Amino acid sequence: MEAKVEARPVVKVEAPAPAWEDARAAAEQHEIKMTARDVNVYYGDKQALFDVSLDILDRSVTAFIGPSGCGKSTFLRCLNRMNDVIEGCRVTGAITLDGEDIYAPWVDPVQLRARVGMVFQKPNPFPKSIFENVAYGPRIHGMIKSKADAEEIVVTSLTKAGLFDEVKDRLHESGTGLSGGQQQRLCIARAISVNPEVILMDEPCSALDPIATARIEALMEELKENYCIIIVTHSMQQAARVSQRTAFFHLGKLVEVDDTTKIFTNPKDTRTQDYITGRFG
Ligand code: ADP
């Protein structure tokens, strides 16, 4: 017998659903790791980002490109609340990680930054040993209970960052004594050591030579199998080489986001077309 379906009352929607509800609904499609809805950022009175909305896919590399000053780094810093530490910086809108609002009052930014790690433009190892650079984060997050735990985390993280073989005989030497490319891989190992899900990279190769750059790019290719990676780059070639999705920013606005091949071969917006063909920027 067919079940009787009761007529549901028609609900009149008076206002659009709040941005956060929309973001959560999008994130429930499991391949979306982070979402942003109507994100605006102000430094004092100056607005740096205008109504940025986008979805970031898991287990892939997303590149943010655009001319200098367009807001790429500002937006990247919204994703792990690094803007919280900049005085006078205000963020509005909604950002989710696995469907949860990262700006909710109960979210601890320190815990959030373990889940959404960051690698900066200039390699910035602590003035400590290679071992301690990697063990420090897990220790403050209570992940290390014994010497063996520390050793395991350090070896695993350095291996994932493609650095272990080069440093295994000098783990107790200073991290600052490594070459620039090695230091950047040490910083990646440090980010990995606290089991992040997302790794933000702000122009991670801009201080490196082409060989060290190629090494980091190859590493991104490997890491994307297990992590959601977002990279800010001023190099369109690098975006085309390493990313699967590309977002183009201009004057604080997200102009378009799409598959990288589409952005570089058939963008929708003339501003994107003009930027990738070198007409400005
Ligand atoms: P991009 O990464 O694309 O070069 P940024 O996000 O660094 O762009 O900068 C976007 C805008 O915000 C620029 O106008 C920049 O001057 C401004 N800005 C960035 N950081 C700060 C800050 N700490 N204080 C004030 N203004 C800032």
174-192 pLDDT per residue, tens = 999 999 999 999 999 999 9
pLDDT band at 23 (very low <50, low <70, confident <90, very high): low
- pLDDT value, residue 281: 75
Cα 217 to averaged position of ligand 1 atoms, centre (Å): 25
pLDDT band at 279 (very low <50, low <70, confident <90, very high): confident
CB 43 within 8 A of CB 209: no
pLDDT band at 1 (very low <50, low <70, confident <90, very high): very low
Q: Which residue has the tokens 């960052």?
A: 161
pLDDT at 221 over 80: yes
Task: Supply the pTM of this predicted model.
Answer: 0.89
Q: Which residue has the tokens 């992590």?
A: 227
Q: What does the pLDDT average to over 15-32?
A: 61
pLDDT at 20 over 70: no
Residue 9: phi, psi to the nearest 5? -65, 145
Min mean pLDDT across 30-39, 90-99, 138-147, 220-229 is at 30-39
Q: Which residue has the tokens 């040490």?
A: 186
Cα 173 to averaged position of ligand 1 atoms, centre (Å): 36
pLDDT band at 118 (very low <50, low <70, confident <90, very high): very high
Residue 247: phi, psi to the nearest 5? -115, 130
Name the nearest CA neighbour of 55 among 28, 78, 92, 23: 23
pLDDT at 135 over 90: yes
Cα gap 219→199, rounded to integer Å: 12
Cα gap 116→111, rounded to integer Å: 9
Q: What does the pLDDT average to over 143-153?
A: 96
Ligand 1 contacts CB of residue 90 (under 6 A) = no
Ligand 1 contacts CB of residue 70 (under 6 A) = yes
Cα 76 to averaged position of ligand 1 atoms, centre (Å): 11
pLDDT at 17 over 80: no
Ligand 1 contacts CB of residue 41 (under 6 A) = no
- pLDDT value, residue 24: 61
Return the structure tokens found at 281: 């920027």
Q: Which residue from 39, 40, 42, 43 has its CB within 8 A of the most atoms of ligand 1, so it is best to mutate? A: 43
For 208, the 3-state DSSP assignment is coil
Report the run of H or E that residue 190 belongs to, with start and end.
Answer: helix 180-192
Torsion, CA 268, CA 274, CA 277, CA 278, rounded to 10: -150
Cα gap 182→193, rounded to integer Å: 16
Counting from 1 in the atom list of ligand 1, the atom nearest the Cα of 74 is: 6
For 91, the 3-state DSSP assignment is strand
Name the nearest CA neighbour of 97 among 74, 73, 113, 75: 113
